[in-house]
Structure 1
Amino acid sequence: MLNSNLPEPELLKTILQPLLEDFQYWFERSRHLLETERIAFLDKQQQFDLLERVKQAQQEVNSAQMLFQVTGGQVGIDMAVMMPWHQLLTECWKVGMRFRSEQSHN
């Protein structure tokens, strides 16, 4: 459970920093899958478009991390900014799970 006595910048560092790191980790895994495997249930354009959206999200998360670091953790990120990242990761997870499922049945 979070300590409600933490000052706001410490609370941001406790929650936001690991969350941004998680986004980077999962986007990198998704990017690797999309760059190294042919996803048979996506046509080439769909796979390319998904990869480009992942690359764009990685750049956005990277910018947010840099801003967070430069300000010493003094800024937060609006949920309206993070929600599309979460939705994209959910889409990537579904693609990854289906890909692995289909690979295991071949």
Structure 2
Amino acid sequence: MSTEQPTEKELLKTVLEPLLEDFQYWFERSRNLLESEQMSFFSHQEQAQLLERIIRCQKEVQTSQMLFKATDGSAGIDSKMLLPWHQLVAECWNVAQKWRETKNQSDRILPES
């Protein structure tokens, strides 16, 4: 069993790089949903505001990814930046779940042709 600890750069590459990719994945999925569907449980303004937050965070994550790559994986990200992204992803998951539940309920109500 090796007792050698990974370097900070190796740790950042192992943890941070996939985390940033995950943020981009979930923000893109949520953005696509919000741009293609009107959520009955949101007003137009609420949905637009959530979409704006997602787009802003996508840009922040993209900037962080570019910085990470430009520094060859040497630049980290302050945890103060990560927390709001995590919270927004969790909010996006909740919206997607609520959307699926709402859609399933309306599918059950509609008679089959």
Does the TM-score normalized on the shorter chain lie above 0.5? yes
C-alpha offsets along residues 48-71 of structure 1, whole Å, 9 cap, x if unaligned?
Answer: 000000000000000000000000
2:17 aligned residue: 17
Q: Does 1:58 align with 2:73?
A: no
- TM-superposed deviation, 1:101: 0.6
- Partners of 2:37 and 2:101 in 1: how far apart? 14
Residue identity opposite 2:83 in structure 1 = M
- TM-superposed deviation, 1:105: 1.1
How many residue pairs align between the two structures? 104
- TM-superposed deviation, 1:47: 0.2
Q: Which runs of 4+ in 1 moved over 6 A?
A: none
Q: Does 1:87 align with 2:80?
A: no
Which 5+ residue runs of structure 2 have no aligned equivalent? 107-113
2:73 aligned residue: 73
- Partners of 1:19 and 1:69 in 2: how far apart? 14
- Partners of 1:16 and 1:90 in 2: how far apart? 18
- TM-superposed deviation, 1:25: 0.2
2:45 aligned residue: 45
Residue identity opposite 1:28 in structure 2 = E
Q: Percent identity?
A: 52
- TM-superposed deviation, 1:103: 0.3
- TM-superposed deviation, 1:4: 5.8
- Partners of 2:15 and 2:48 in 1: how far apart? 32
Which 5+ residue runs of structure 1 have no aligned equivalent? none
- Partners of 2:88 and 2:94 in 1: how far apart? 10
Residue identity opposite 1:10 in structure 2 = E
C-alpha offsets along residues 4-43 of structure 1, whole Å, 9 cap, x if unaligned?
Answer: 6211101100000000000000000000000000100000
Moved more, 85-94 or 53-62: 85-94
